[in-house]
Structure 1
Amino acid sequence: MKRVAVVGASLAGVRAAQELRAQGYDGGIVLIGDEPHLPYDRPPLSKGFLAGTASRESLDLLDTGDLASLALDFRLGVRATALEPADRRVRLSDGTSVHADGVVIATGGRARTLPGFEGAFVLRTLDDALALRAALVPGVRVAIVGAGFIGAEVASTCRSLGLDVVVLEALTAPLAPVLGPSLAAVCARLHLDHGTDLRCGVQVVGCSPAGVSLASGAVVSADVVVTGVGMTPSTEWLAGSGLKVGNGVHTDDGLVTSLPQVVAVGDVARYGGRRHEHWTNASEQAPVAVANLLAGHTAQTYTPSGYVWSDQYSGTLQLAGHPRPDDTLSFVDGDPSSSSFVATFSRDGVTTGVFALNNAKLFTRLRRQALRRPEFQPAVQG
């Protein structure tokens, strides 16, 4: 294998490039990214960077030493437009192409948009964050559609800037399908305790200079509207490649596609019938995917840890595992009304997840104990 093309220059792509070198690969690595920026970290975009307390340089995933040791051939500011496996070629939007013996698909996705919200901001890229940050001037009222992790973090940052914030959520409580009613109520409390106007169970239909229009006919006044309603995997460029796509790039449990010389990592990878849109997942997949790419077959399998964290207001939320909202919830330390607690999920007597608010030490210990047990691992979903 003389050259590997890594398509996608964010965390998953960078980790794949680093892992190629760590596993002894000394051939060429072409890192293709549709943004003009060198690879950067996304979590601070909704937090410190949006607030203006984190610099652009602090986002960099690679320092000068990394750039020298990895010896990457960067192709930035161009999109991959086609994968031609028979010719071992990736075609690019500038009319050029890259010949590669192996391909790592790490294209992630783009922020999902809503019809009728053409004037709204989204937050997925550095340029998105720069545009939104410029709009958050003193005195503006911000409406955020969606109370998931991104929506909650943007709301928290806006409140730290002294702005009036309303969060509009279709669910009866934030993150209820993931955390269940008790912990969803904790997330709601964080909003309310910090002066955010949280409105759940509402349906939005569009936005205008006046604000956000609801299905009820009411208009929520806002100067700045942000939608945080998930992402869409970037797979269109794979049409005609022979790879199976649909809500991501389908792989086996080793992150290998139907073509052994092509693997997928990060938000775009769909294995076991699921995608996992988390920072930790994008980072942890690289060693397995790269090992299988270099082996030419699935020699290792990947098991997701299910770890995700979110900084919201005065709280750091941490979740590990693969719980269902109807699993039994038990509080190991503290209770839902506490500013710090740890809880576990269980099903049929088996721990399925650990959740903490502002208690990283106990969370980490319980997470490690649970992850040692094979029954903690998720069942494959079809």
Structure 2
Amino acid sequence: MDNSIVIIGGGLAAAKTAEALRTRGYDGALVVVAGEDHVPYERPPLSKEFLAGKTESAELAPFDAQWYATHRVDLRTGVSATQIDSDAKMVTLDDGSSLAYDTLVLATGSRPRPFPGEPEVAYLRTVDDSERLRERLGEDRSLVIVGGGWIGLEAAATARAAGTSVTVIEPERLPLERILGAEIAAAIADLHRSNGVDLRLSTGVESIRVQDAPGGTVFGDDASTHTADTILVGIGAVPNVALAEEAGLSVSNGVDVDAGLRTSDPNIFAVGDIANHDHPLFGRIRIEHWANALNQPAVAAANILGGDEVYDRLPYFFTDQFSFSMEYRGHASGSDAVVIRGDLSALEFLAFWLDEENRVRAGMNVNLWDDGDAIAELITSQRSVDPVRLGDRAIALDSV
């Protein structure tokens, strides 16, 4: 196949797209525009092992610079795409150069949602962010985290393990309640408190005053004040869709793609955090998790090369917070009915989210590692289950 493919992105999705194209026999010109001054790398360790100093930066990258050279991938680090001309099939870069393409893959990921007014606080998205934050953790150091989502809670657990005093400010009644439901969210809150995290729930943030950035004072809407050496803001992420919008692609909560990851332009694909994907089971969803970045590229590559594959994997993510280690499959919300199977207080349990017809929409295994396949089968089968039997540990999952 004699053409040119350009991939825009510096994360796992970009790296795996390049790999998948070469693995599937594409032998033409291949360029990766990575943006950061690093080879493309994985981001989940940035709030966990890497932040804790247990992983080196080189270990974050699925492939080193030599791999790109060996596989004739033109890796452009430290340069970003600024414009896509979809009519001319041309990408403009911020160094003044441009790249022609026959097929373009967008893997531009997401960025932290800024706090209003954009004070000079810490965020956690890049390896450089994580390195700077790690240097500010330790005994006799203090950290205020604005936001009790996945990133905020993972960073809180890592910081406490380093001896840092941690306060988490979260406007919801319980952290992660909208995702996991009240019962499990309460158990996570109790776990953090038992490990010394000062959780300030049902508390919004009126303002942040920076003094010796990224330190300063956070002012709560309950008239409380919280001063720390470091203020970390983790209030969600925003998909990087500006290039796609300016190129005229269909965008709604991400770049709209079909089941095969094609955008509204047949010559442009999107993978990873930005892909607002038409999933065969869940409809249109956008998932900001590692598994999509890992697995979507193979389907995109196949279809770029003339195939007609469908990305139908279940959404998947994982977390590690103190003694709470889990895997989550499927797609549900905290408003769905929740069935607990096991010992919630001991953090050894399975959880299932059921729709109105008692079909399993999502399942989570916490500190139990043998049931992933059975959970996945319950979700994909879409059969109605008996909630009582589902919660009974004496009954095999394939018999509920």
The yes-or-no answer on 1:286 pairing with 2:277 is no
4+ aligned runs moved over 4 Å, structure 1: none
CA distance in 2, matches of 1:375, 1:95: 56
Q: Which residue of 1 aligns with 2:309?
A: 300
CA distance in 1, matches of 2:379, 2:353: 13
The yes-or-no answer on 1:316 pairing with 2:317 is no
More displaced 10-residue stretch of structure 1: 236-245 or 28-37: 236-245
Q: How does 1:206-217 map to 2 (within 5 A)?
A: 206-208=207-209, 209=211, 210-217=216-223
More displaced 10-residue stretch of structure 1: 256-265 or 352-361: 352-361
Q: Which residue of 2 aligns with 1:227?
A: 233
8 Å contact kept, 1:8–1:34 = yes
The yes-or-no answer on 1:202 pairing with 2:208 is no
Q: Which residue of 2 aligns with 1:8?
A: 9
Q: How does 1:37-186 map to 2 (within 5 A)?
A: 37-63=38-64, 66-116=67-117, 118-186=119-187
CA distance in 1, matches of 2:252, 2:132: 31
CA distance in 1, matches of 2:187, 2:326: 10
In the TM superposition, what is the alpha-carbon distance from 1:64 to its structure 2 partner?
A: 6.5
More displaced 10-residue stretch of structure 1: 336-345 or 70-79: 336-345
Q: Structure 2: which amino acid aligns with 1:336? A: L
CA distance 1:115–1:372, change in 2 (3 Å): closer
CA distance 1:10–1:192, change in 2 (3 Å): same
In the TM superposition, what is the alpha-carbon distance from 1:53 to its structure 2 partner?
A: 1.9
CA distance in 1, matches of 2:71, 2:379: 32
CA distance in 2, matches of 1:245, 1:225: 33
Q: Deviations over 1:308-343 (max 9, x none)?
A: 1001112212211112323222222x2321231112
The yes-or-no answer on 1:339 pairing with 2:347 is yes
More displaced 10-residue stretch of structure 1: 69-78 or 364-373: 364-373
Task: Tell me which of 268, 273, 276 is aligned to 2:287.
Answer: 276
CA distance 1:260–1:117, change in 2 (3 Å): closer
CA distance 1:360–1:299, change in 2 (3 Å): same
8 Å contact kept, 2:314–2:376 = no
Gaps of 5+ in 1: 377-382
The yes-or-no answer on 1:356 pairing with 2:357 is no
More displaced 10-residue stretch of structure 1: 52-61 or 170-179: 52-61
Q: Which residue of 2 aligns with 1:369?
A: 377
The yes-or-no answer on 1:329 pairing with 2:330 is no
In the TM superposition, what is the alpha-carbon distance from 1:19 to its structure 2 partner?
A: 0.9
Q: What secondary structure, in the 3-state scheme, does the structure 2 residue paired with 1:205 have?
A: strand
CA distance in 2, matches of 1:102, 1:326: 41
8 Å contact kept, 2:89–2:102 = yes
Q: What TM-score comes out, normalization by structure 1 length?
A: 0.92
In the TM superposition, what is the alpha-carbon distance from 1:258 to its structure 2 partner?
A: 1.2
8 Å contact kept, 1:328–1:346 = yes
Q: Which residue of 1 aligns with 2:396?
A: none
Q: Structure 2: which amino acid aligns with 1:201? A: S
Q: What secondary structure, in the 3-state scheme, does the structure 1 residue paired with 2:14 have?
A: helix
Identity across the alignment (%): 36
In the TM superposition, what is the alpha-carbon distance from 1:29 to its structure 2 partner?
A: 0.9
Q: Deviations over 1:205-242 (max 9, x none)?
A: 22223421112222112221101111111122234422
Q: Structure 2: which amino acid aligns with 1:337? A: S
Q: How many residues align?
A: 372
In the TM superposition, what is the alpha-carbon distance from 1:139 to its structure 2 partner?
A: 0.9
More displaced 10-residue stretch of structure 1: 334-343 or 75-84: 334-343
Q: How large is the RMSD of aligned CA atoms in angstroms?
A: 1.9
In the TM superposition, what is the alpha-carbon distance from 1:375 to its structure 2 partner?
A: 5.7
Task: Tell me which of 261, 271, 277 is aligned to 1:265.
Answer: 271
Q: What secondary structure, in the 3-state scheme, does the structure 2 residue paired with 1:225 have?
A: strand
8 Å contact kept, 2:360–2:379 = no
CA distance in 1, matches of 2:249, 2:65: 36
CA distance 1:345–1:194, change in 2 (3 Å): same
In the TM superposition, what is the alpha-carbon distance from 1:75 to its structure 2 partner?
A: 1.0
CA distance 1:365–1:239, change in 2 (3 Å): closer
8 Å contact kept, 1:116–1:207 = no
Q: Structure 1: which amino acid aligns with 2:135? A: A
Q: What secondary structure, in the 3-state scheme, does the structure 1 residue paired with 2:51 have?
A: helix
CA distance in 2, matches of 1:309, 1:253: 24
Q: What secondary structure, in the 3-state scheme, does the structure 2 residue paired with 1:48 have?
A: coil
8 Å contact kept, 1:82–1:239 = no
8 Å contact kept, 2:171–2:203 = yes
CA distance in 2, matches of 1:374, 1:263: 29
8 Å contact kept, 1:169–1:202 = yes
Q: Which residue of 1 aligns with 2:250?
A: 244
Q: Which residue of 2 aligns with 1:379?
A: none
Q: Deviations over 1:290-324 (max 9, x none)?
A: 222222xx822222412110011122122111123
Q: What secondary structure, in the 3-state scheme, does the structure 2 residue paired with 1:57 have?
A: helix
Q: Which residue of 1 aligns with 2:281?
A: none
8 Å contact kept, 1:119–1:207 = no
CA distance in 2, matches of 1:372, 1:204: 41
CA distance in 2, matches of 1:374, 1:103: 35
CA distance 1:375–1:101, change in 2 (3 Å): farther
8 Å contact kept, 1:354–1:366 = no
Q: Structure 1: which amino acid aligns with 2:270? A: A
